[in-house]
Amino acid sequence: MEKILDFQDFNLYSVDDHRTWATLCNRHRQLHAGKLAKEYLSGLDKLQLDHESIVDIAEVSNKLKSISGWTLVPVTGLLSTKDFFLLLAKKTYPITVYIRKPSEMDFSEQPDIFHDVFGHLPLLTDEKFTKFLTAYSIIALKYINNEKAIDILGRLYWFTYEMGLIREDGECKPYGGAVITSVEEILNVSNEKVPKHSFDVDHIFKSLFDSFKIQLEYFVIDSFDDLFSSLATLEQKLIGNLLIPDDDFSLRNYSVNIHLGRGFNDVIGFLNGIQFQFPNALSFVAGQPDETFFEVDDHISKYNLFVNYLAEKTGQDKKTVINGIGQYNKTKGIINEIISDYLKNDENITIKPENTIITAGAQEAFSIIVSAICNREDDVILMENPSYIGVSSFAKIFDYKIGGISCDEEGINLEELKNKVIAVNNSGKRVKLVYVIPDYQNPSGSCMPIGNRLKLLELAYKYNFLIIEDSVYNSFTYAQKKIRR
C-alpha cells in the first residue's frame, strides 16, 4: 500500500539494515573510477552522503534544497502514478524508506532507499536535468487519465532517468539510477553486443522494456541539452503515437435505423415553449443566453454582406442571388463553405463544405444523427450524467435506449464509460453513440483535458462507437483560453 510519510522512523532499521547500506555504498564507491557520468559524480560530490549508515532523508532534503531547490519526502511502497508526477512537478522527490534484504544485494525487485538516494538524487542537483524532469512531469499530468499516454511517457522516464547513458570521452556512461545501482546492469552496459541507440524520443516511445530483467537496449544522449531540447516536440510526438491504433479492428458496417421514414413527432418546440412560457425562470437545462448581449439588428444588417459575398463568388448579379436565397435551396444548407472556413480557421478542423449539414440548432442535429444511425432494438446511446437534455429527451421520447456515465471536473469518467460499453456489448446490445460536451460542459462547466479526449477517441476506435461532440460553448470563451484541437 503506497503512502507518503511525514517522517522516516529510524527505529525500523536494524543493525543489519545499516550494514546492508554500508556494503552497498562500499560496492558503489568502487564503481566511481571513470565508469559513471560526470554530471552524476559531480552531484554525488555535492551531496556528500553518509556511506556508513542509512541517511536521514530530512537532512539530505535540506542539503538538496540549498543546492537546487528540490526537496525529498519519505514514502513506503510505490506511489500512484498521479501522486508521483504531482510530487515531481512540485520539485519534490519521493524516497522509499525501505532497504533491501542482504539476499537482494545485487538486485532488489522493490525500489529501496539505496536505489532512490544513490540512483536518483545526484542528478537532482543538475539544473538542466531537473528542468527536463519538471517539464516532463507537467506534460505527464496533462495525460494522467490516459493509460496509453502514461505508458508511452513512462518509457521516456525509464530510458533516461532509470536506464539513461551519456556519451563521454568516446564511452557510454550511465546517468540513469537503475543502471548505477545495479552491478549487473553496469556489466551489461559494457557488453558491446547490447544495442546503444542515439537518443530519439520517437524510438523510445515505441520501445518496450521489462523492469525486472536485464535490459536489451539503451539510449545514449550527447549531453543533457538533448533531454531539454526534446521537450519542444515531446507532446506533439506523444499525440502522434496516441493516434496510432494498437490493433486493427474491422469495422464499421453501420446499418440505418429500421424506423427511418416512419412517423416523426416534434420534440424541439416543446423545450423552447417551456422557456417562453416562464421567462423569469432560470433555466439550468438549455443554456439560455443573456438577452442584454443580443445584437439582432447587427445580425440582420449582415444580410447585404452575405448577398455581396455570394454575388462576387458566383459571378451572378444581386437580383439572381437574392431570388436564389428566397427559393427552395440545398437541404444541407447554403452557408456550408463559410462554416467550413470558420472550422478551419478557428477550430483547426478540415472538413469539406459538402460534408457539413446546417441545422436549425442542436436538436435537429441530434434527431438526424440518432435516427439515421441508431436502431431502437439493439443500440444504446451513452452520455454524461448530468448533461444537456437535447439527446436524452429525443432518445427517450422516440424509445431509443440511453445510459448515463458520471462525470467530474475532467468530464466523462472514462473508466466507467469503458466498463459500461463492455457490459452493454456483452449483454447482446451495442453502444453505438456516446454524447459528450467536452468544452464547458452543461451543466457542470467541466472541460476534458486533451489526454482524456484522445483516450475517448481510442475507446471509440476500440469499441467501435461514434462520438457526438457538442462543442457549443467552445466558440464563446475568451480567446486566450480557447481550446485548440
**Contacting residues toward Fe ion, per CB under 5 A:** 177
Asked if residue 412 lies in contact with residue 145, where contact means CB atoms within 8 angstroms, the answer is no
State which residue, 177 or 449, has the beta carbon closest to Fe ion.
Answer: 177
Residue recorded with cell 456515465: 405
State which residue, 177 or 411, has the beta carbon closest to Fe ion.
Answer: 177
Q: How far is the CB of 181 from Fe ion (least distance, A)?
A: 8
Q: How far is the CB of 111 from Fe ion (least distance, A)?
A: 5
State which residue, 218 or 388, has the beta carbon closest to Fe ion.
Answer: 218
Task: Give the list of residues 6+ apart from residue 362 with CB closer than 8 angstroms, or none.
Answer: 388, 390, 470, 472
State which residue, 177 or 438, has the beta carbon closest to Fe ion.
Answer: 177
Q: How far is the CB of 434 from Fe ion (least distance, A)?
A: 38
Read off the C-alpha cell for 87: 510530487
Q: How far is the CB of 373 from Fe ion (least distance, A)?
A: 49
Task: Give the list of residues 6+ apart from residue 259 with CB closer than 8 angstroms, or none.
Answer: 371, 375, 376
State which residue, 180 or 201, has the beta carbon closest to Fe ion.
Answer: 180
State which residue, 42 or 110, has the beta carbon closest to Fe ion.
Answer: 110
Q: How far is the CB of 153 from Fe ion (least distance, A)?
A: 15
State which residue, 166 or 454, has the beta carbon closest to Fe ion.
Answer: 166
Give the C-alpha separation, 337 to 351, whole Å.
Answer: 10
Task: Give the list of residues 6+ apart from residue 123 with CB closer than 8 angstroms, or none.
Answer: 39, 40, 43, 129, 130, 161, 175, 177
State which residue, 136 or 440, has the beta carbon closest to Fe ion.
Answer: 136
Q: How far is the CB of 115 from Fe ion (least distance, A)?
A: 6
Q: How far is the CB of 146 from Fe ion (least distance, A)?
A: 23
State which residue, 109 or 246, has the beta carbon closest to Fe ion.
Answer: 109
Q: How far is the CB of 283 from Fe ion (least distance, A)?
A: 53
State which residue, 109 or 399, has the beta carbon closest to Fe ion.
Answer: 109
Q: How far is the CB of 54 from Fe ion (least distance, A)?
A: 17
Residue number with the shortest CB distance to Fe ion? 177
Q: How far is the CB of 22 from Fe ion (least distance, A)?
A: 21
